[in-house]
Amino acid sequence: MSTPETQRIKIGIANPTALGLFGLAIVTLVASSQKLGITTGLSFVIVYAIFLGATAQLVACILDFIYENIWGGTVFGAYAFFWYAVAVAWMMKMGVMGPELQAACDVKQLGFAFLGYLIFSVLMTIGAMEVSKLIFIIMVLIDVLLAALTLNAFGIASHATHVIGAWTELVISLLSFYACAAVVLNTFFGKVFLPVGKPFGIFK
């Protein structure tokens, strides 16, 4: 008795990296404006944390996994849920979810979450070396930002640490805008229109 052959159907999709980078660029731009004192409050930062920092990166994560890009899918997914969690944490601290949760907030718990993400980010930075030099630089800056957030949450950050974190977040935003445009335009034009730097070629 013959066994019917199993056929694998591969769905062709465009590279979703640009969408994830755009989400990162927007949320870090808005968040850095608050850290730098250009704007005040977190109400509108929460909006962009949920829709751009979280949802846009989550969509990129899902499509990257379909695209069989395990590094991109994991990184975008992890950072998507980071922004969901941070947005909810801000709302708790602001009393949106009631005075009981607001009173029970312990910022040091955020410190441990930031520390966990710092460990994860450093490990993912190793993988970024085989993506492009630009993505590697962005990941290194994310490491610096997470280190500053960790120190701040544990209450051991200096004013200089806060300033470094704020400016680092702004630079992450600007580089992410460039990286987003590079992915789209390089693919669209079929040539290197905006250079991002070749992978280091150490591990691959």
Reported as a single tens digit per residue, the pLDDT across 19-53 is 999 999 999 999 999 999 999 999 999 999 999 99
pLDDT at 176: 98
Which position has the higher pLDDT, 8 or 12?
Answer: 12
Closest CA to 183 of 76, 99, 107: 76
Mean pLDDT for the stretch of residues 146-166? 95
Percent with pLDDT over 70 in the chain: 95
The token duo for 188 is 């669209």
Residue with tokens 């280091």: 200
| CB 76, CB 124: distance < 8 Å | no
| CB 52, CB 20: distance < 8 Å | no
- What is the distance, to the nearest Å, from the Cα of residue 100 to the centroid of all Cα atoms in its chain? 30
Phi-psi label, residue 199: left if phi above 0, alpha if psi -120 to 50, beta otherwise = beta
Mean pLDDT for the stretch of residues 97-108? 92
Percent with pLDDT over 90 in the chain: 91
| Phi, psi (rounded to 5 degrees) for 40 | -130, 155
Mean pLDDT for the stretch of residues 59-88? 97
Which position has the higher pLDDT, 6 or 111?
Answer: 111
pLDDT above 90 for 2:
no
| CB 25, CB 176: distance < 8 Å | yes
Phi-psi label, residue 155: left if phi above 0, alpha if psi -120 to 50, beta otherwise = left
Closest CA to 148 of 160, 161, 159, 158: 161
Helix (H), strand (E) counts: the chain: 8, 0
CA–CA dist 103, 162 (Å, integer): 25
Residue with tokens 């250009």: 38
| CB 196, CB 133: distance < 8 Å | yes
Cα distance between the two ends of the chain: 45
| CB 132, CB 199: distance < 8 Å | yes
pLDDT above 80 for 4:
no
